[in-house]
Structure 1
Amino acid sequence: MTRIWHQSVNELQHLQVYKKALEDHGREVMGSEAELVVHGLPSGTYGGLSATAALGNAYAYHRLLGCVIENAIEAEREGYDAFVIGSFSEPFLREIRSAVDIPVASLTEAGLLVGCSLGRYIGLVSNAPAVQWMTRTAVDKHGLGARVLDVVALDPALDEPALAKAYADPEPVIASFTTAAERLVARGADVIIPAEGVLAELLMRHGVRAVAGAPIMDVVAVAWAYALMQIRLWSTTGLRVGRAWHHRRDDPALVARLAEQPR
């Protein structure tokens, strides 16, 4: 069976409700087409902080998320058919694609590209200012600023543990998200993307599918479907990542040797 490695940047041991939501969602979306295997970061990675609190610092981001590259290499070694970066912080997407030959999808890129097919302007609602900033940076990195109306954050901001607790009482979060989304739609957004994984799962779990006539994207399902599309194209057409420039690999032996070295 096709297997997809879903890589969260949360310590999922402490967010079991989110991990279970992802696993249940994966079975609903992919059925017998593929098996989704959800992975998080080791307990203690953030030293008691949330991902939102820790990853705003560029040095911490580099040190703490470098293991995501190694996990992608491990996924390829173990025979996974695709690797999904399940975070709007989108760690090391270019580096991962330069290191492995299996398809790699990310919540941010897949959501933005599919969003361009659903409307002229995309609005994104993140959970907190730090993730809002990272998402804006990712929009620029993908060259899609002209298609994004704005990236905003929930008010009040909520980190991942607070969002996980809200799974038991979601109405305040849904109300806050709806207010932010309605404002974006009033300004011209055609489609809204929840720009944080725990938030996106909460909304989908509770049936939030549209606001003021604009669809609310099931961005996690979109990323999985995007990975499945790539797997199919890899298999049937031979399509691959371009190696000439952005993901170049002039010396495959060097890449292979580095991948074998312990960190």
Structure 2
Amino acid sequence: MTRIWHQSFTVLDDVPHYRDALRRHLDAVARPGTTVELHGMAPGTYPGSYPGVHIGHLYLTNLHREQFVRAALEAEERGYDAFFIATIPDTGFEEIRTLVDIPVVAFGNASVAFAATLGSRIGIVNFIAALEPQLRRNMAAYGLGALVGPIVQVETAFTDVMAAYADPGPLVEAFRRAARTAIAEGADVIVPGEGPLNVFLADQGISRVDDVPVIDSLGTGLALAETRAAFHRRTGLHPPRTGLYFSKPDPAMVKAARAFYHGASA
């Protein structure tokens, strides 16, 4: 049995169409014996707006990152086999992998790395334009920056993606238009951006636009989490423990620092 903690950037109970589609999709693509447990942000995280607004502001994103850190520490303490950061900006990825030894897999990192096994110029199609600088910075840090070509926005908003489950046609066509723009700019593989768009496309059975593959980003991340969990059990495989971006601090020091900044909530 493999238990994977899926961490969303959304308050899942606020978006039941997405939550239910996510459940269906991950259950369909998980390997036999894998349990994926869905977790979202705390209720009330986004008063008066939603992730599509917050995620475009660095300070707000950094504040919300603490929920991902807290979740990862809890996942390891409770014996999960892997932690899956299921949002394309990979919120907290670099910090979290320095804090826990269980495998940590991130949506953006995993999907672009996998796409590179299919083609040589990756196009990202998403619906939050403000994310582009963060995505490019992340990919450069991962050593994948040269592979990422056009980043094209679907002409829609977060609420439109949620509404599309009742009337999928307009969003399907908007995605195809955006994908064809990316293809015209040289993309030979398409990575769907944010989780809600990815799950919607998977729900509609869309895996190609013309002659170009559209990967299942969440399915790819889950598959990598399952593989990493298996290798971790077998050999203890985990990232290097050297330098600023990988060394693991003393857990007591981490606990004290978190208590100072976050009090009982840490």
Measured after TM superposition, the shift of residue 32 of structure 1 is 2.4
- 1:188 paired residue among 173, 186, 189: 186
Name 2:13's counterpart in structure 1. Answer: 13
RMSD: 1.7
CA separation of 1:91 and 1:250: change in aligned 2, threshold 3 A: closer
Measured after TM superposition, the shift of residue 211 of structure 1 is 0.7
Measured after TM superposition, the shift of residue 240 of structure 1 is 1.4
Name 2:53's counterpart in structure 1. Answer: 53
TM-score (norm 1): 0.93
Measured after TM superposition, the shift of residue 79 of structure 1 is 0.9
Which amino acid in structure 1 is aligned with residue 35 of structure 2?
Answer: E
Name 2:238's counterpart in structure 1. Answer: 240
- 2:229 paired residue among 218, 231, 256: 231
Paired residue secondary structure (1:66) = helix
Structure 2 counterparts to residues 1-263 of structure 1, below 5 A: 1-155=1-155, 157-159=156-158, 161-245=159-243, 246-249=245-248, 251-255=250-254, 262=264, 263=266
Q: Deviations over 1:20-50 (max 9, x none)?
A: 1111112111142300001111121011211
Which amino acid in structure 2 is aligned with residue 214 of structure 1?
Answer: V
Q: Are 1:163 and 1:198, in contact at CA under 8 Å, matched by a contact in 2? A: yes
Which amino acid in structure 1 is aligned with residue 60 of structure 2?
Answer: A
In the TM superposition, structure 1's runs of 4+ consecutive aligned residues that sit over 6 Å from their partners are none
Paired residue secondary structure (1:222) = helix
Distance 1:214 1:118 in 2: 10
Which amino acid in structure 2 is aligned with residue 201 of structure 1?
Answer: V
Give the length in aligned residue pairs. Answer: 261
TM-score (norm 2): 0.92
Paired residue secondary structure (1:47) = coil
Q: Are 1:86 and 1:107, in contact at CA under 8 Å, matched by a contact in 2? A: yes
Structure 2: stretches of 5+ with no match in the other structure: none
CA separation of 1:259 and 1:241: change in aligned 2, threshold 3 A: farther
Which amino acid in structure 1 is aligned with residue 66 of structure 2?
Answer: G
Which amino acid in structure 2 is aligned with residue 172 of structure 1?
Answer: P
Q: Are 1:154 and 1:176, in contact at CA under 8 Å, matched by a contact in 2? A: yes
Q: Are 2:150 and 2:185, in contact at CA under 8 Å, matched by a contact in 1? A: no
Q: Are 2:98 and 2:249, in contact at CA under 8 Å, matched by a contact in 1? A: no
